[in-house]
C-alpha cells in the first residue's frame, strides 16, 4: 500500500466524520435523533482515529488489529446511519440527500478498509 492510498483513506475518513457530525447538528430536536446522533458521531470519528493508529502501528499484527477496529467502526457507523434514516423523522430534502451520501460513503470506506486488510494478509501469507 502506498502512502498516497493511506492518506486518501485517512482524509476520506476525516471528511466523512465531519459530514456525519454536521448532519447530526441538523437533525430534528427529538430524543431518538439525539441518542442515535451521539453514537453516530462517536463511531464515525473512531473510523479515522483507528486508521491513524494503524498508520503508526509497530508491527503487521498491530496494524491488522487497528485497521480491523476501523472496519468494525465503519460497520457500526453504517448501523447508526440506518437507524437515523428509519427512526428519525427527517423532512428536509437536503438532510435526506446527505444521509444517503453518508450511507454510501460508510459502505465504500468499509470496502476499502476490507481490501487493505485482505491485501496486507495476502502479502504476509496470512489466511483470512
Domain ranges across the chain: 3-124
What pLDDT, in 10s, does the model give residues 54-96? Answer: 999 999 999 999 999 999 999 999 999 999 999 998 999 999 9
Confidence class for position 1, pLDDT limits 50, 70, 90:
very low
Measured at the CA of 38, the angle between CA 32 and CA 42, to 5 degrees, comes to 145
Average pLDDT over residues 1-6: 49
Q: Which residue has the higher pLDDT, 42 or 3?
A: 42
Q: Exposed, middle or buried by CB within 10 Å (0-12, 13-18, 19+), for 89?
A: exposed
pLDDT of residue 13 exceeding 80, the answer is yes
Question: CATH number of the domain at 3-124, out of 3.40.50.980, 3.20.20.450, 1.20.1440.60, 3.40.50.150?
Answer: 1.20.1440.60
Name, in order, each residue with C-beta under 8 angstroms of 16's C-beta and a sequence gap of 6 or more: 44, 47, 48, 102, 105, 106, 109
Name, in order, each residue with C-beta under 8 angstroms of 99's C-beta and a sequence gap of 6 or more: 23, 81, 84, 85, 90
C-alpha span between 77 and 102 (Å, rounded): 9
Phi, psi for 36 (deg, rounded to 5): -65, -35
Q: Exposed, middle or buried by CB within 10 Å (0-12, 13-18, 19+), for 19?
A: middle
What pLDDT, in 10s, does the model give residues 88-128? Answer: 989 999 999 999 999 999 999 999 999 999 999 998 777 66
pLDDT of residue 2 exceeding 70, the answer is no
Amino acid at each position: 500500500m502506498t502512502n498516497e492510498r493511506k492518506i486518501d483513506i485517512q482524509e476520506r475518513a476525516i471528511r466523512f466524520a465531519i459530514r456525519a457530525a454536521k448532519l447530526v447538528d441538523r437533525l430534528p430536536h427529538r430524543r431518538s435523533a439525539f441518542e442515535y446522533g451521539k453514537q453516530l458521531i462517536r463511531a464515525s470519528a473512531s473510523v479515522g482515529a483507528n486508521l491513524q493508529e494503524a498508520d503508526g502501528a509497530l508491527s503487521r499484527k498491530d496494524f491488522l488489529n487497528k485497521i480491523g477496529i476501523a472496519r468494525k467502526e465503519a460497520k457500526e457507523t453504517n448501523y447508526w446511519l440506518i437507524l437515523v434514516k428509519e427512526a428519525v423523522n427527517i423532512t428536509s430534502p437536503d438532510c435526506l440527500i446527505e444521509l444517503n451520501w453518508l450511507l454510501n460513503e460508510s459502505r465504500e470506506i468499509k470496502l476499502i478498509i476490507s481490501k487493505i486488510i485482505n491485501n496486507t494478509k495476502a502479502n504476509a501469507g496470512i489466511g483470512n
